[in-house]
Chain A
Amino acid sequence: MVEKTAQPARLGRGFWVVTAVLAALAIAAIVFCYVFPLERYLPAAIVTARQVDELIRFMSATGSALYIFVAGYLVYFAIAFRAKASDAPDAIGVQIHDNRKLEFWWTVIPLLFVLVLSIVSVRIWYEILLEPENGLVVEAIGHQFYFSFRYPQINGEVTDEMHVPLNVPVTLNLTSADVIHGFWVPAMRLKNDTVPGLVTTIRFTPRLAGRYPIICTQFCGVEHSEMDKQVLVIEDKASFDRWYKGWQQKNAHVSNALPGAAGQAIPLQGGDVAAGKALFSQKCTACHKVAPFNQTLVGPGLEAVLHDPAHPDLVNGKAANPADVASILENGYTGSMGAMPSASSNGLSPQDIANLVAFLNTLK
């Protein structure tokens, strides 16, 4: 064994100079995070978006300060302790194995930081969860490849833009008619997936008027990347009311005329019970039993669906009538009872719908 010498390691002046420089850099990074918040580049359109930005500021400030110290010491040690030409070829470093005190502190301080971060993030998360519950209800339904929107007072679906009034709390129920989509408005700092068969809710209060893109963030098929053309419009109450009335008038005919898939009216009087029965066992029994309404499989039981006076509110609080049931078969359903696919995704023709309604009418 060759005699090897190792100098003792000391924290020399270089170390403290580097520490001072890194501290200055870290403070600069923290200042930078607060002077250039995300809000400067991406509007914060809802109340909680500003709180999310606060969390982003806190995390990016502490994260970049931490990184500056780790990377700074890494680079400093890597340069300061390189083997020099003057060193013997078999020179060795200082044989330090560990340092209990140091290891204790760099375990405890991160744990404390985890505690602080948990408190900060849980608080901001609760701000998002605790947005008012009794807001304007909007349903957004994901389709390949667009979102449609429903408003409780408007018959039919709104398929171009989602409008909400300024400063009025909104309850947005999300579901999907086909595959999973992601409903993301970057200006809201908020998203949720639209999952078929599941209704999820996000609540928010708009604070900044404008037009903000709605973007799909879960891969949903070949045109997924084109699913970013719709917008969320936040506008004052008067403009919102005008838009809302316009849609109500445009859709006033929907519940009466029942246009079929290819624009044909559904021949409700010409339904064939036997054909409807065959179709029912083929298409419907996966989710519906012929049993009292409360016996749910996926959807409710359908016994006496058209004859039970005590029937729960099916559409807008009214008892079910053949036109309503046909409308559900035609357009699908999304709401408190779950989600049901529309006629086009179930492969039902207008005549099929008429046959099914005729069959359901015989269940007493």
Chain B
Amino acid sequence: MAVAALHPGGIAEHIHPEPQGFVRRYVFSLDHKIIGIQYIITAFVFFMLSGLLAEAIRTQLLNPNGGFVAPGTYNEVYSVHGSAMVWLVIIPLLTGGFGNLVFPLQIGARDVAFPWLNMLSFWIFPVAGLMLFSSFLMGAPTAGWMEYPPISLQGAAGTSMWCAAIFLVGVSSTITGINFVVTILKMRAPGMTFTRMPLFVWGQFATAPLLMIATTALAAALAALFIERQFGVPFFDPTKGGSPVMWQHMFWFYSHPAVYIMILPAFGIVSEVLPTFARKPVFGYKLIAFSSMAIALLGFMVWAHHMFTSGLAPFLQLPFMILTYIIGVPTGIKIFSWTATLFGGKIHYSTAMLFAIGFIGLFTIGGITGIFLAAIPFDLHVHGTYFIVAHLHYVLVGGSLMGVFAGMYYWFPKMSGRLLDETLGKIHFWLFFIGFNCTFLPMHWLGMLGMPREVATYDPQFTFWNRFESVSSYLMTFAILIFFVNVLWSIRNGRRSGPNPWGARTLEWQIPSPPHYYNFKHVPTVYGLPYDFSQPLPYKGLEEELTDLPPPVAAGAH
């Protein structure tokens, strides 16, 4: 008991010595903060590559007859664009990147539960990414990010490389999921009960089981496709007794939850940024937290709404339609709660706040069109058209990516000790916001009027709006270039931020920026929710964090 009195955190007080060599510190690091930054840098490199592919797509579509690249090449370009944006950009940024960087700090932990596994799951990721892009050398996959057989069985050798690469990313995701679940369950600071966890932690807590469970279905499907392509075992080829629809079931059993893997952490980011800059508590904390869990659970039960045209029996389709409608309820609760959070606030317009508000406005469009698509009669019209392209970009760019940018402007000081430039940031936001809407909003009508997706050429009646979209997409790319310039400039020349430039109240802002290797000198004790600005901070044991006092060397340190 005497020991417990000295160290209320018990074993969590134990501090490992900081590694000294460059390689152990910055390359094969076990530190969750460094690993998070490694994820973010790697994912943004892949983001640039697949962003270039996106511009190749839009440049092709300037003319109804294409002509920028050959149709075969065009198919490779959009397939790798989709695969890379999902598996190498959005998922790693939101889980491995911001997840690693932020949530262990927010729960008062010294690291994640399995630092070595964390390092492993990071290092699998760039290898898999290089494999995916290397498929261009041997004929990249052409059948979109969904790679439906039998057409994917006809694909060039790169399709097998795609299977292997995505399988590896899946392994990395699964490990991360296990790591995060255990960390959140076991390593919260004393007093950090579930209903005192910051909402970003809730976002990760809802996401991690999805990573852990759903990814295994994808792994099985990818292994089967790889074996069929390489060794001819007929899983999916109907002329040999396989079932092509089985692939669709297995793929969407992963890929629908994957949509929530890509949006729940972004919900978390927005739920942190809004109260900080509105200077008031987030509205309806419990409902926001629990609705994340409801979305995660329901997310497992709606996968076949991607398959309304695949020939399923009608009575099987009905529950998928209704359950998808029902997901709209917890999602709506979040949107209403965020909007209500602004009411009565003292809103400070940092770039992070602009992106968070932009997120609500754009994600809501993606959410509403998602409800439209769940209606079977409507889906039978627009399935496989540009309406889908518009919908998914409103969710993944207007939602997830805007969330990523909000997180970058918000937590960049915690990573680097410096602020991103706010003027460049605001230019970035407005150009991106306008460019994004002009690129993707017209696609809704193009899809409804008859333009199918995944096409290298199109009906000349759609020329005007396609040109308009292509030109707007260049504006988006320009905005993203401003962002990269901002990051590269600010990392050396940005204004020093100090520990807490935003006056935020979660735990990560109560320690230096960037934090020490061991995060907290003393593991703090938590007494309440962080979000009430009229109360003193609900933490004890943080008195020494911003002083020069060295951390105590715990008994048994080596």
Contact = CB atoms under 8 A, between A and B. Distances in A.
A4 B376 CA distance: 53
Given A78-B357, A228-B452, A96 B381 contact: no
Interface in A74-132: 74, 77-78, 81-83, 87, 90-99, 102-103, 106-107, 110-111, 114, 117-118, 121-122, 124-125, 128-129
Contacts of B376: 121, 125
B449 interface: yes
Main secondary structure of the interface of A (DSSP, over half): mixed
Contacts of A298: 238, 241
B343 A96 contact: yes
B256 interface: no
Contacts of A219: 75, 142-144, 148, 151, 454
| Residue in B234, B378, B456 with the greatest tally of chain A CB atoms within 10 Å | B378
B41 interface: no
Contacts of A339: 238
Contacts of A51: 377
Interface string B526-556: 0000001110100000000000000000000
A200 to B, nearest CB: 4
A91 B279 contact: yes
A198 B238 CA distance: 9
A1 B457 CA distance: 65
B332 interface: yes
Contact of A218 (B148, B283, B340): B148
A38 B448 contact: yes
| Residue in A52, A98, A345 with the greatest tally of chain B CB atoms within 10 Å | A98
Given A55-B375, A82-B349, A92-B534, A77 B311 contact: no
Interface stretch (A62-70, A274-282, A321-329): A62-70
Given A114-B326, A197-B238, A225-B71, A55 B244 contact: no
Nearest to A181: B151
B151 A179 contact: yes
Contacts of B322: 114, 118
A200 B325 contact: no
Contacts of A6: 534
Nearest to A197: B238
A290 B349 CA distance: 77
Nearest to B388: A217
B151 A70 contact: no
Interface size class of B (residues with CB under 8 A): 35 or more
A254 interface: no
Contact of A179 (B150, B283, B336, B455): B150
A186 B380 CA distance: 10
A70 B283 contact: no
Contact of B368 (A4, A67, A87, A96): A67
Interface stretch (B175-183, B284-292, B405-413, B510-518): B284-292
A192 B448 CA distance: 16
Contacts of A223: 71
A17 interface: no
Contacts of B498: none
Nearest first, the 9 closest Cβ-Cβ pairs linking A and B are: A197-B238, A217-B384, A93-B280, A225-B455, A94-B344, A9-B344, A93-B345, A77-B342, A186-B450
Given A180-B151, A192-B311, 7 more contacts: A55-B378, A70-B336, A74-B339, A77-B345, A95-B280, A95-B533, A219-B143
10 contacts: A59-B378, A63-B371, A70-B364, A93-B278, A96-B340, A114-B322, A180-B151, A191-B381, A192-B311, A193-B310
